[in-house]
Amino acid sequence: MRPVDAHSNPASSTSLADIARAAMPATARLRFPGAGMFDMLAIAFLALLVLVALFVDIIPGLVSPKFPYGDFSQLPDLTLNGLFGTDEIGRSILSRVLYGARASLSIVLVATCLSVSVGILLGMLAGYYRGPLERMVDLYANTMSALPSILVVLAFVTATGTSVLAIMLILGILDIGTYARVAKAGVISQNNRDYVLAARAMGASDARIMIREILPNLVPALTAVMPTLMAGLIITEGSLSFLGYGIPAPAPSWGGMIAASTDLLSRFPVLIVGPTGAIVLTVYALNTVGDYLAQRLNSRERGN
């Protein structure tokens, strides 16, 4: 009798593959199709940043960002709190960078939720009903895209006063037009598809058609543009804090830390390494993830 060759027996090969897949840890089975090394590094960095922002209060040994940790030092040391050195009044730069991540991500997340919710609502209504509503949404989107974002934010904050709530609100208003455009284009492209026509023929209401039939198909496009817009909000919020209209002191912010170090920058450039690196890496990671999602969306559309 000839021995069974697993490589020549499809049933045996499939069985072995199933056994190997079942034995593999769940984290090892997590896959991002088409993602390169830099895409994976960007995803890992953002995941780590979110975890740090959530649990920064319980990091062992990390001192408060509002109180002096030691004497001013232009050179970092090998301790946790002295890794990036201390600022002009002795506070740990690393601690302030990590707590600044919580502040920046919280502001950007709330602003993005506001932009997405209002933008989707306006865009879907404009794309579904067209007419005057579409022209009004297009006018708003074109107006906001034509204005320099930092000037709009400065004007709003100057009029309302510096507060975290005001910053969240104006940053959320900035991107409503962009999300509305994406949603409107998606609704127009989906409006005459067979499943929408079938739902309409069966007597489904406009609200049901938009929410149950069209909205799920808008999620990939909206998800693809979201990281890039969030990166822009990070830059705008940092610029606002740098100009002194951002998160009120003594709460740490990346832009505020850079602004506070400008007088000492010529002698101690190490002071801005932490906050500058945090902004650059976060913006790079968000843009990289946005590019990856856009490529996946284009591949999906070509496949269809």
pLDDT digit string (tens) for the chain, length 304 residues: 444 444 444 444 344 334 333 433 443 345 677 778 888 999 999 999 999 999 999 998 888 888 877 777 656 777 788 888 888 888 888 999 999 999 999 999 999 999 999 999 999 999 999 889 999 999 999 998 888 888 888 888 888 877 888 899 999 999 999 999 999 999 999 888 888 889 888 888 889 999 988 998 899 899 999 999 999 999 999 988 888 888 887 788 898 888 888 877 777 888 888 899 999 999 999 999 999 998 888 777 666 5
> CA-to-CA distance for 14 and 16, rounded, in angstroms?
5
Which residues, including other chains, have CB under 8 Å from residue 183's CB and lie 6 or more apart? 119, 120, 122, 123, 124, 127, 218, 222
In one letter, which amino acid is 247? Answer: I
Q: What is the DSSP string of 1-61?
A: -PPPPTTT-HHHHHHHHHHHHHHS-HHHH---TT--HHHHHHHHHHHHHHHHHHHGGGSTT
The alpha-helical segments, DSSP class H, found in 175-266 are 176-190, 194-201, 206-208, 215-242, 254-260
Closest CA to 237 of 158, 171, 302: 171
Contact 76, 83 (CB under 8 A): yes
Contact 185, 127 (CB under 8 A): yes
CA atoms within 13 A on the CB side of 250: 9
Query: What SS3 state is found at 123?
Result: helix
Give the Å distances, CA to CA, from 55 to 58, 113, 260. 6, 22, 26
- Token readout for 155 is 């004007």
pTM for the predicted model, two decimal places: 0.82
Query: What SS3 state is found at 79?
Result: coil
The full set of domains in the chain, from first to last, is 43-57+80-303 (1.10.3720.10)
- Token readout for 63 is 């001192």
CA quadruple 266, 267, 269, 272: dihedral, nearest 10: -90
- Tokens 């409006």, residue? 191
Instruction: Answer positive or negative: Cα dihedral of 258, 111, 169, 95.
Output: negative
